[in-house]
Amino acid sequence: MRNVLSRLNRQQYAALFHHYASISTGLHYIGVSKSSQFRRGRGSETQRWRMDMVPIDLWLQHHFSTGFTSIHGERPSAEYAKLRKESLENEFGHALGTYSSKSLSSSFKFGPFWALYRAAFISFQVVKLTVLHFFVRDIHDRAVKFRETLIRLGPFYIKLGQALSTRPDILPNAYCQELAKLQDQIPPFPTHVAIKSIETQLGAPVSQIFADISPEPIAAASLGQVYKAHLHSGELVAVKVQRPGMSHTLTLDALLFHMIGGQLKRFAKARRDLFVAVNEMVRHMFKEIDYILEAQNAERFAALYACYPKSGENSYRDTSTKGTKMRTYIKVPKIYWNYTRKAVLTMEWIDGIKLTDADRMKKAFLDRKKLINQGLYCSLRQLLEEGFFHADPHPGNLVACTDGSLAYFDFGMMGDIPRHYRVGLIQVLVHFVNHDSLGLANDFLSLGFIPEGVEIQAVADTLQASFGDGTKESQDFQAIMDQLYNVMYDFNFTLPPDYALVIRALGSLEGTAKVLDPEFKVVESAYPFIVARLLADPNPDMRKILRELLIRNNGSIRWNRLERLVMAISEQASESDGDGNDAPVRAWKSFDMHSVVAATEDVFDFILSEKGSRVRVFLARDIVKAVDAFIEDEAFSSLFAEKREGKTASEHSQGHKMTVRMVSGVRAFLRAVNSAPGAWIPFIVRMAFEPHAQTFFLHLVASVSTSSCHKVQEAFWLCISRLLHMLDEQCRASDS
């Protein structure tokens, strides 16, 4: 019996050797022969493809070990980011020049001593802060003193502090955290001053303009305050009045800052030139104090994103369908242009519930998670689709309405991000989720986060070290940004002007959502939207990002990402099958099946191209492994029931998991096909008649067949060995 078992073991090892040799041979047919096809001359159609018997690992090492190369494309350029930055700096210079000339003439109108007094007051506060620099050593205490000084200096410096609170690339984290506490802590100016400003701007007594107006402001901020009023026609309106002399004060403070800003920079230990950040901030502040521009922003925002529920309809339930379909309702106040001027803005009054008022929201039966989804969807559309976005969506600028809609206010601080940066934002997120450090480093170069001349590989290595093993990875936006900032300071890292507002918007969005749900993670929640966007957008740059999401730089498949994507599409197909009608507004996490098919065809075209030769090698290798695992775990292990019952560890083996994932993936794909056969069947037919696809399929079948034959032979001898072992045990048991 022992001799028999010994011979079986020798044959088992021999079968195993031939099995792996067959895999290497079959994969070489798929990878090398395909690329050889593209190297042939035009007149060599009858030339046979070269089929060297090279193991797959040695073949990959020989062809791709001379230096890392990505299958997805070349290194990007920072030229666009440089031109964009110069354009914005020129825009700021023009704005500051226009306002400064007006401000200087106004200064002499009010008296030359006004400008001198302001300069002396600011200088005194800065000298006082400089003296404290020598006595206060604790960085947190210094941050508190810095914040208190900014409050005393007035609106310009409060706005400056608010802007710097989102710029850890400039100030230490302790200062950023302290400046985040800054609110518009300025007392309201007297109502009679506001009334006089309204009458001056609108050219009529306030009694002729409004039927009534509140005696005190409903809300006050650093740049203006809001009153509640009725028009003579009966409409309830909000009247926003700018603080008198604001444009001159801001411009004068901006000019004076360039004289004394160096002291503030030294006290705060700014990591980069503070004047650059101030220039960016002032450019937006000049827009904030122009209420005509704010009104135009409100109407543009409404045209792009507003959606109003019908009378008596709740935004969470579509009564025309059997199930509950989420609608995205966003309200924007109507602008009354007859009562709007550069320093006075009259708009519709919208009653709502503050997002921080949990009791009122509960009484109104408002679903917090659905409110978050509405706000997140609207914000992602702003940042990733249209580019025109609200840069400060904090809880004070958003309210929940009793019909379930979300209302936006305060359109003074808006951003308009070009497509290059919108695509770059998606690319950064995909590369971060994939832990693709080299891709992330290239993104930073392309978007202007790091200057040209920096060694990209050194940046990638630093980022890779920061990822660690991924066990403690956070999906919290601020934590992610802190992680990136902490590893990038050594490379002259800075935020481009466009992204400074984007970071502020995303930070405010996550902070607002955390008021409703403390466990909210903006990156994790935005991922389904981004995947849907990648599938829906046919532009080449978005298709490239989709391929990077599913395929690693070396050509191997990210099966976990592909599995999640297929399952998500399949789940949507199952839901749509159970619901006979679609809601007028589609759920934001859904996929358009025709777009999914188009994206799938694009990925297949890439795999079958010359660039996809490595992908074909890895794809075939994984398919062969999956088939082998299926044969081993399902076909032969079922012959021995006690093995499956007694060895639970085998059910958790890598092979078993691969088999389960393969079967579930195929089932999910079939469900997706059944949900939209009109979209999928033409694609399958096109692929069936594609010559490259036919060649790849035939080689894949040959590899699987060769591997399976050896696997069957191996499994056969294992079964014989198992039977003989059982017989041996029974003989021993009977002898005893």
Q: Each residue of 232-280: pLDDT tens digit?
A: 999 999 999 999 888 888 878 877 776 665 555 555 555 555 566 677 7
CA distance between the termini of the chain: 17
Q: What φ, ψ does residue 640 adopt, rounded to 5°? A: -125, 95
Q: Sign of dihedral through CA atoms 263, 266, 267, 271?
A: positive
Q: Which residue has the tokens 């193991």?
A: 55
Residue 58 CA from chain centroid, whole number: 38
For 75, the 3-state DSSP assignment is coil
CA dist., res. 445 & res. 80, Å (int): 10
Q: β-strands 236-242, 224-231: how paired?
A: antiparallel
For 273, the 3-state DSSP assignment is coil
636 touches 718 (CB < 8 A): yes
Name 657's Cβ contacts closer than 8 Å, sequence gap at least 6: none
Residue 620 CA from chain centroid, whole number: 32
CA dist., res. 649 & res. 657, Å (int): 11
Facing residues of 353 across strands?
A: 400
For the chain, list residues with pLDDT below 50: 1-68, 103-104, 107-111, 311-326, 577-587, 641-652
- Exposure string of 469-498, with b = 16+ CB inside 10 Å and e = fewer, is eeeeeeebbbebbebbbebbeebebbbbbb
DSSP-derived letter for residue 336 is: -
CA dist., res. 477 & res. 485, Å (int): 12
CA dist., res. 256 & res. 126, Å (int): 12
| Residue pLDDT, tens place only, 119-173 | 888 888 888 887 887 788 788 888 888 888 888 888 888 888 887 777 776 777 7
Residue 387 has what pLDDT?
92
Name 312's Cβ contacts closer than 8 Å, sequence gap at least 6: none
Residue 14 has what pLDDT?
45
CA dist., res. 426 & res. 310, Å (int): 34
Count of beta carbons in the 10 Å neighbourhood of residue 608: 20
Name 136's Cβ contacts closer than 8 Å, sequence gap at least 6: 142, 145
Residue 97 has what pLDDT?
53
Alpha helices in 154-189 (DSSP H): 155-164, 173-179
Residue 316 CA from chain centroid, whole number: 25
129 touches 149 (CB < 8 A): yes
Q: Is 592 marked active-site?
A: no
Q: What φ, ψ does residue 241 adopt, rounded to 5°? A: -115, 130
CA dist., res. 257 & res. 262, Å (int): 8
> Burial of 298 by CB count in 10 Å (0-12 exposed, 13-18 middle, 19+ buried)?
buried
73-82: list long-range contacts, CB under 8 Å, 24+ apart.
Answer: 73/544, 75/442, 75/445, 75/456, 76/442, 76/443, 76/445, 76/446, 77/445, 77/446, 78/445, 78/446, 78/448, 78/451, 78/452, 80/420, 80/446, 81/446, 81/447, 81/448, 81/496, 82/448, 82/452
Name 81's Cβ contacts closer than 8 Å, sequence gap at least 6: 446, 447, 448, 496
Residue 3 has what pLDDT?
47
169, 253, 318, 392: the active-site residue: 392
* CA nearest neighbour of 549 among 570, 569, 533, 571: 533
CA dist., res. 370 & res. 605, Å (int): 39
Q: What φ, ψ does residue 398 adopt, rounded to 5°? A: -135, 135
User: What's the order of all strands across the beta sheet hosting 406-408?
Assistant: 330-331, 406-408, 398-400, 353-354
Query: What is the H or E stretch that residue 270 is in?
Result: none
Residue 731 CA from chain centroid, whole number: 67
Residue 516 has what pLDDT?
84
Residue 521 has what pLDDT?
79
Residue 300 has what pLDDT?
96
Residue 532 has what pLDDT?
85
Residue 85 has what pLDDT?
66
Task: Compute the half-sphere exposure of residue 615: CA atoms within 13 Å on the CB side of its CA.
Answer: 23
